[in-house]
Amino acid sequence: MSLEAATMAPEWCLDPQPWFSCLDCGVGLYWVDLAHGELLICANAQCVGAGIEVPVWRAQQHREALGLDRPVSDAGWPRPVLEGRPVPYVTPVTAGHPWWRLTHGPRLLHCQNDWCCQVCGQGLEASGWVVVDPRGMVQTDAAMHERCLRLATAACPHLLAVAAQRAAQVRRADIHGDGRPLRDSGALTREQWTVPRLGAA
């Protein structure tokens, strides 16, 4: 975790134990040493889940299942606004705090498999928009509606200012996942998206 991220994080992020509990034993979770603010772990040696790393979105799902929090960033339009910015569908939210740097795994997978928008979660038309770098690598590995791209770039102008990234309109057939043409659906894990025709190589 960078110093900037550490200083921007709310104080309770420093100690996740009262906020996130183990899915198996219910004891409070700790951050994984090298993945602070990203992965949690149960330190109860008696627990069947001890030592298994849990991503924030999964621990947050558990919070919601326990009724300790309510889902905030479900699919829909307009987007909810938290901390002065619109919250994308794929961003996990805990106690009103969006985890801006993190991605909700199953939601991103849903966007990839079912050609849905990563910002609003709703279905895309035949074409959608992606932000690509000069090598044709798709940022966040999912597409957007044009209105949602405008919303995202207005909220985060750095999106298109960093490393010569640019927005491009693509069809699903233009995209490769992990280097192969996309299958219709059914991938089990998140794939790295590229647009070969937009890459320099």
Report the residue number, 35 or 47, with the smaller CB distance to Zn ion: 47
In eight-state DSSP terms, residue 75 is: S
Which tokens go with 66? 């326990």
Tell the smallest beta-carbon distance from residue 123 to Zn ion (Å).
9
Q: Which of 117, 138, 142, 195 binds Zn ion (CB under 5 A)?
A: 117
Widest CA span in the chain: 53
Q: Which of 17, 44, 153, 165 binds Zn ion (CB under 5 A)?
A: 44
Q: Which of 13, 72, 148, 182 binds Zn ion (CB under 5 A)?
A: 148
| 119 near Zn ion (CB under 5 A) | yes
Q: How far is CA 185 from CA 46, 67, 92, 182, 191, in A?
A: 39, 32, 23, 8, 12
| 199 near Zn ion (CB under 5 A) | no
Q: How far is CA 113 from CA 123, 190, 191, in A?
A: 11, 9, 10
Q: Which residues bind Zn ion (CB under 5 A)?
A: 22, 24-25, 42, 44, 47, 49, 117, 119-120, 145, 148
